[in-house]
Structure 1
Amino acid sequence: MSLRRFWYSFLPLLIFAALALFYEYQGNRLSALMLGIYSLFFLVYFFIPLVKQPLIMYMVMSFLIVGLGWQNGAVLNPYFMLNGFFLVINSIIDLSLKSFRIYFFFQLGLAMLSFYLHNQFHIAWILLAIAISYPVLKWNEIQIEKAEQQEMYEKLVSEYRKLKRQTHESERAARLEERTKIARNIHDSVGHKLTALLMRLQVLMMQERRPEYEELKQLASDSLEETRHAVKTLQAEETEGISSVLQLIRKLEAESHIHLDFTLKQGVLSAHLTNDQNIALYRVLQESLTNAMRHAYSREIRVVLALNAAEDLAFTVKNRVHEDKPWEWGFGLKNMKKRVEELDGQLHVYQNDNEFVVAGTLPLREENMDAL
């Protein structure tokens, strides 16, 4: 039970209880036993989310309400009846189709019995019960179907995400295997041949000291070193997500001599970005740094990356400006906004309190899950 739904159901019960007790107080019929029964009533109510069979708890609460009416004597308290009716409404979502029908007719029988014992039984009550039976039972049926559909939807979404993760991991493993294969081929063919060439040049240099041999040896040595570097790069795992963007930004920070104050909120480093999103985020930060170098008051830029309530990546870039003056959408800002919006993201640029702010979001839902 969600917190909002708990208060929606608890507050009306509390109000009806207060009205019932006030009604008894006005008739000088309020007693310690009545207060005790109502306390037990709410205690049972709080246990409903904790038990596997809420039907039993609802029946106990109905018995307590009827007990309050019987203990009251000949006067029928209308607020007791409202408590009972609201229990039926509240149980529509908590009980299954079969359990709700059992409880509905059980509660209906108790209500008719209460009217009979208080000498207020009338045919009109039976007609009213018949009139409300169908819509209430139908409402329960609709709620059960909605709950089942929601549960099925969540299972399908979970399975879809699991399948997407497996597919992503399989593709990644295939790419790494292919890269490893290419690296092995380069090492076994080009690397060995360059090594053999170096040895042959070394022998020639020992036999005959000629300047061109030295140049050829240096050229072959450089080629071998570059080949080894390429092999290591191919064998290394791919860097994905925010980490790859951070590496690029740190390199840009070193080149521009600007200090970046990075704040990474929880969950950001594990967020998966597509290649297009990686590029878009990097370009946004790059353009922001470029603007800061031109117009910033200080050499420090604050960057915040976080996941918002919708589990999308939210980014904010702030830097001080010389003065609060009008600014225009230049080519860089327009291109940056277009790039983000093409990925279904949002970008906002504004200036306040001597700060220039670039803020936006990029959707992280895999394959636009929200489109399902």
Structure 2
Amino acid sequence: MKKTYFIWLAIHCVVWALAFLGFPPSLNEGRLASICLFFIILFILPLFTEKLMVQSILFCIQALATIVIFYPLDQVFNPYVLLIQALIIAEAVFYLSRLKSLVVIGVQLGSMTWIITESSLTASQLAWCGLFYLLLVSAMLHYQAIRKREIDTRKKNDALLDEYRKMKRQLLTEEEQARQDERMLIGHEIHDSVGHKLTALIMQFEAFRLTAAEKDKEKIKNLKALAEQSLKETRRAVRSFKEREVGGLQGVIRLIRKLEMESFMKINFSVKHGAFAAPLTGEQSFAIYRAVQEALTNIMKHSSTREAQVMFESPGGSIFRFEVINLTAPDPFFQEGYGLKAMRNRLEKVGGSLEIHHDERQFVVRGSMRLIERSEPYD
């Protein structure tokens, strides 16, 4: 809206500068007041963007003001009045609905008819003015119809896109719930079968140890310890089945895949050097996801392509690195914005760092963080 308004204002300034060449050297008070009223309305129009009725009234007042401004006192017709009234009609068609724009066009044609009848025009000049307005109104109304169809089509496409995204989110939610239900079922089966049998085996080892010979008790004790260790690992596995799989690199990739489907991007993943086994904490996983998300958002905003390379690696198991690469046009005025600064701060809070590299061919975001070795608790 802002850019469009300044374009209209620039055109008005050019046309009015030419129109003033056709005015007499001295202007009466009525013309000066009408010119001031015309430009006041021109400047306050952006204040009523959402109020179409007020805009319609203002356009009609502008049309009536042209009668006073260009009234042929000496029966001399100023041809630039055609361009000024054409601008009013074009603005009305651009901003208003069909019915309201027709009202403005009617007022405009009435004021123009009055000016023409008070001027001493030849038959050919009258015919030329009539043809000008006929072609102008026809072209404007045709443009309005095409623009209305485009707006309706855009609204339908937006509605379909929203529905598509809702269906995708619902599908992902249902798939995740089905996967979680399956994990719960497997966990229950392991707990009910393997867990109970291991518990019974431990009890039998203990009973056998009490009645066994002294030389066999150490072996039985070791076997019992092995069974207890197996039971603990089984319980730990059951707990992991019951928990939602939101942490680690798998969770990060799943969230990015969801973003990929919703934003219609093509993301090529590359996982290297033990990245899947990296012991990422919840805070680190969230920071990595947000960093990659911000990098992909920048691609959608500033890049002409919708394809990116995302690489994860954990060399040596002590450092985790990620890299987002996007082919882009050269930009000598690149500067970090709020999103990239927030990304850097978020990574630094979890002991990481961020590097941004921009050259003539690609835009690269690199992040790294030191991993914290976590010991797994036993029951």
Please give the residue correspondences for 1:140-155 in structure 2 after superposition, counting only pairs within 5 Å: 140-155=144-159
**Maintained 8 Å contact 2:187/2:241:** yes
Q: Does 1:29 align with 2:19?
A: no
Task: Give the distance between the partners of 2:225 and 2:273, measured in 1 at CA.
Answer: 42
Which residue of 2 is the match for residue 115 of structure 1? Answer: 116
**Shift in Å, 1:356:** 11
Distance 1:6 1:196, change over 3 A: farther
**Maintained 8 Å contact 1:16/1:82:** yes
Task: Give the distance between the partners of 2:173 and 2:156, measured in 1 at CA.
Answer: 25
Which residue of 2 is the match for residue 215 of structure 1? Answer: 222
Which residue of 1 is the match for residue 187 of structure 2? Answer: 183
**Maintained 8 Å contact 2:308/2:326:** no
Deviations 1:226-252 (A, max 9, x none): 112211221221237978459xxxxxx
**Maintained 8 Å contact 1:176/1:235:** yes
Distance 1:117 1:203, change over 3 A: farther
Task: Give the distance between the partners of 2:234 and 2:248, measured in 1 at CA.
Answer: 28
Counting matched residue pairs gives: 290
- Which range is displaced more, 166-175 or 183-192? 183-192
**Shift in Å, 1:157:** 1.0
Which residue of 2 is the match for residue 56 of structure 1? Answer: 57
**Maintained 8 Å contact 2:41/2:58:** no
Letter in 1 for 2:43: L
SS of residue in 2 equivalent to 1:272: helix
Which residue of 2 is the match for residue 45 of structure 1? Answer: 45
- The alignment yields a C-alpha RMSD, in angstroms, of 4.1
Which residue of 2 is the match for residue 167 of structure 1? Answer: 171
Letter in 2 for 1:148: D
Distance 1:35 1:282, change over 3 A: farther
Which residue of 1 is the match for residue 5 of structure 2? Answer: 6
**Shift in Å, 1:22:** 6.2
Q: Does 1:225 align with 2:232?
A: yes
Letter in 2 for 1:280: F
Letter in 1 for 2:300: A
**Maintained 8 Å contact 2:35/2:65:** no
1:272 maps to which of 259, 276, 282: 259
Deviations 1:92-113 (A, max 9, x none): 3322233333333332222222
Task: Give the distance between the partners of 2:238 and 2:6, measured in 1 at CA.
Answer: 63
**Shift in Å, 1:62:** 2.1
Please give the residue correspondences for 1:99-138 in structure 2 after superposition, counting only pairs within 5 Å: 99-120=100-121, 122=123, 123-124=126-127, 125-138=129-142
Task: Give the distance between the partners of 1:136 and 1:113, measured in 2 at CA.
Answer: 22
The sequence identity of aligned pairs, in percent, is 23
Please give the residue correspondences for 1:283-322 in structure 2 after superposition, counting only pairs within 5 Å: 283=272, 306=295, 307-310=297-300
Which residue of 2 is the match for residue 68 of structure 1? Answer: 69
Letter in 1 for 2:49: P
Structure 2, unmatched stretches of 5+, are 276-290, 312-323, 329-356, 366-379
TM normalised by structure 2 equals: 0.62
**Maintained 8 Å contact 1:201/1:217:** yes
SS of residue in 1 equivalent to 2:300: coil
SS of residue in 2 equivalent to 1:194: helix
**Maintained 8 Å contact 1:20/1:77:** yes
**Maintained 8 Å contact 1:187/1:228:** yes
TM normalised by structure 1 equals: 0.63
Letter in 1 for 2:62: M
Which residue of 1 is the match for residue 281 of structure 2? Answer: none
Task: Give the distance between the partners of 2:274 and 2:25, measured in 1 at CA.
Answer: 73
Structure 1, unmatched stretches of 5+, are 247-267, 287-302, 318-339, 349-354, 363-372
